[in-house]
Amino acid sequence: MSASRLCRTLLLALLLLVAPPLAAGARAQYLHLGWDECGPGAAIDQAFACDSNAGVSEIVASFTLPRPFPRFTGAWFLVGVCFPNVDTPDWWRLNRPDDCRWGSLTASFDAPTEGCVDLGAPAGAGSGIGVGVGQGLNGFLFVVARSVADTANAPDLAAGQRYFLARIRIDRAKSAGDGACAGCSQPAVVELRWLQLSSGTGIGEGISDAYEPAIVRWQGATDWCSTVVPTRNRTWGQVKTLYR
């Protein structure tokens, strides 16, 4: 997937925040999140005592398909982080260089050893995480993109198989001690809102689980919420700065 295509898909993400599902059937679930592992046994809840600056919490994103998908060349997906009834705490302010924990949100494409099938092709140039997509009073949005390094050997994906997408890595810097960012203990809900697949055939596929959203919870969140973020027009140059 080229850098220009990644830029276009990031802009499209802003337009699809409330878009209806294209591929998901009634009450079927095709998008999946879990803490640290892939597969149906992955934990949905994670608690952290906020007493150390070492370590990383990982959210593993995966998906299944309702039908075969030929010549997979890339994907991007949109994630929302939401805080029930409160403003975004400093510990979760990760979107801008002047935010308290800028740099603590990254992505990895190292597939787990079990629970999911890798996409069968190494991640290519342009794969990464796009921050700064949207910031709202009750949360924020970001995009993760993954391309295929060798599009000439783009793999065919099978229906019903769970495929690994990416690890969303949240490090624990500034959680304790002097200089700690407030709000580590604040409950949060993380939702995989949209997945867009690209094919060497030129025909893509979009998936959204409107009825059973894919979520994980942080620090015992009990209330479900959805990030409300106003869309903004961006230039191509501004969009390119979001990926790192």
pLDDT at 3: 42
**Tens of pLDDT, residues 197-214:** 999 999 899 998 766 789
Q: What span, in angstroms and rounded, lies between the C-alpha atoms of 71 and 134?
A: 31
Joined tokens for residue 170: 């949240």
pLDDT confidence band for 236 (50 / 70 / 90): very low
* Full-model pTM: 0.81
For the chain, domain boundaries: 3-19+31-48+55-240
Per-residue pLDDT tens for 83-141? 987 889 999 998 888 999 999 999 999 888 889 998 876 777 667 877 655 667 788 88
In this predicted model, which residue has the larger pLDDT, 175 or 133?
A: 175
Which two structure tokens, joined as six digits, stand for 238? 């501004």
Three-state DSSP class for residue 133: strand
Distance (Å, whole) CA 81 – CA 99: 16
